[in-house]
Amino acid sequence: MGRPLVERQGRGSIFTSEGEVLLRQARRILGLHDETLRLFDVEPEQTLVIGSTEHAAAQLLPELHTALTAAMPDRRVRFRVDRGSQLRDDLARGRVDLALLFDPAGDQSAMSIGQLELTWYSASDWSLPEVTEPVPLVAFDDPCALRTRALETLQSNGMRADVICEAPHLAGVQAAVRAGLGIGLMATLGRSPDGLVARQDLPRAEPTEMFLCARQGLAPGFIEYTADVLRELFTTFARVESRKTGALLAVAS
């Protein structure tokens, strides 16, 4: 186009005013393209883009992909994994159609799809410090719902915390915990990350609710069906986790 269309803003980027104009025109062009194909009884392939935070994406997304592609063979399903703040921006700009988020940020149309159990993890040889010392915490960059939950859980149980390491993504948090820098609070749907062990000697953190948010203009049928699929997945995971817990209690007794 011969002129800047995007510009840096913090860690991400935003459209310039001319970029916004181009985006509107591009959407009109694509809409006219699809309309023309339909006039000739040719249905264009449509893509459904689903965004998700990293937490438990490895467990949720493969199952979700299988269910959606089976139910909507005429649509291509694509995923984007990112921080919640970025996904909310992507929704507003129409870059993703649906997003799985911990914090809907006041979106009144957000649909609750289930709760994720939160588990403390550490390296296998890590041990709690003396009661007079703060607990070293590995956390995601602020703002982050899990970071807040971790700090509040420790504080409400009379334990001081010191954020000793921060990371923007899950891989960085897990690497720092694996290296023995401190503990991390994670949502893993009962599957411990490699090299980490679940801690039973720390205060239980309340589960966090997950929401499905949609971009404006997306057909309600897609939203409701995806929400139903996700709720069923959460129910299935909850049953599996309940059986695992029962088995552990039986062994312990």
Total residues belonging to the chain? 253
CATH numeric code, 45-116+207-253 = 3.40.190.10
- What is the pLDDT at residue 249? 38
- What is the pLDDT at residue 92? 86
Residue with tokens 């991390």: 184
Asked if residue 180 has pLDDT above 90, the reply is yes
pLDDT tens column, 109-158 = 889 888 888 899 999 999 999 888 999 999 998 888 889 999 999 999 99
Model-wide pTM > 0.85: no
Domain ranges of the chain: 1-44, 45-116+207-253, 118-206
Segment 80-86 long-range contacts (CB within 8 Å, at least 24 positions apart): 80/49, 80/50, 80/51, 80/52, 81/51, 81/52, 81/53, 81/54, 81/57, 82/51, 82/53, 82/54, 83/53, 83/140, 83/141, 83/144, 83/168, 83/169, 84/53, 84/144, 84/145, 85/143, 86/12
3-state secondary structure of 253: coil
9 Cβ contact partners less than 8 Å away, ≥ 6 residues apart: none
CATH numeric code, 118-206 = 3.40.190.10
